[in-house]
């Protein structure tokens, strides 16, 4: 089992390399600076997780990142200063502050996701259809397992 897991990690690292090479491609294609370039890998992960629920509150950021509200507040402040996310007043409740990705970060992230899909389609097209189906099934099983363990 341990060797199989190491094999999976190796493939995940290769996919990770594809992801980061596409960050550079997207920046050049859009003629824009990578808004995530000055972030730590943890901050980039946090931004991508937040983007799934934006606009959101600080409490929701803390929950999705599984960190304290004070840590979430510090993280959000750093990301606001770097121009990756913005705070906005909730139009339905003036006392509530919503957190959202900056327009530049949203544009960059969307383009990056499009590039990643293209790359994964290329990989998928070279895989035997039965193996591709297994790959999808395994990822679904992993997703279910993660949900069971971590909620």
pLDDT for the residue numbered 32:
61
Q: Is the pLDDT of residue 118 over 90?
A: no
Mutual angle of helices 69-81 and 58-65, in 10-degree steps: 110
Q: Is the pLDDT of residue 23 over 80?
A: no
pLDDT for the residue numbered 68:
95
Q: Is the pLDDT of residue 33 over 70?
A: no
pLDDT for the residue numbered 26:
67
Least trusted range by pLDDT, from 13-22, 48-57, 111-120: 13-22
pLDDT for the residue numbered 39:
78
Q: Given pLDDT bands bounded at 50, 70 and 90, which one contains residue 42?
A: confident
Least trusted range by pLDDT, from 9-13, 25-29, 109-113, 136-140: 25-29
Residue 24: phi, psi to the nearest 5?
A: -65, -40
Residues 6+ apart with CB under 8 A from 76: 58, 61, 85, 87, 99
pLDDT for the residue numbered 40:
79
* b (16+ CB within 10 A) / e for 41-77: eebbebbeebbeebebbbebbbeebeeeeeebeebbe
Least trusted range by pLDDT, from 2-11, 54-63, 82-91, 126-135: 2-11
Q: Given pLDDT bands bounded at 50, 70 and 90, which one contains residue 100?
A: very high
Domains of the chain: residue spans and CATH: 39-101 (1.10.10.10)
Q: Given pLDDT bands bounded at 50, 70 and 90, which one contains residue 19?
A: confident
Reply yes or no: is the peptide bond before residue 57 cis, omega within 30 of 0: no
Q: Note the pTM of the prediction, 2 decimals.
A: 0.67
């Amino acid at each position: 089992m341990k060797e199989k897991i190491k094999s999976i990690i190796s493939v995940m690292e290769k996919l990770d390399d594809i992801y980061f090479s596409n960050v550079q491609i997207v920046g050049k294609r859009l003629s824009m600076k990578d808004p995530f370039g000055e972030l730590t890998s943890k901050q980039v992960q946090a931004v991508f997780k937040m983007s799934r629920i934006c606009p959101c509150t600080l409490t929701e950021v803390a929950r999705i990142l599984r960190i304290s509200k004070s840590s979430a507040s510090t993280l959000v402040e750093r990301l606001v200063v770097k121009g990756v996310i913005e705070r906005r007043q909730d139009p339905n409740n003036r006392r509530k502050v919503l957190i959202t990705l900056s327009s530049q970060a949203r544009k960059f992230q969307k383009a990056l996701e499009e590039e990643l899909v293209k790359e994964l389609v290329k990989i998928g097209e070279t895989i035997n259809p039965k193996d591709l189906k297994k790959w999808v099934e395994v990822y679904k099983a992993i997703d279910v397992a993660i949900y069971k363990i971590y909620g």
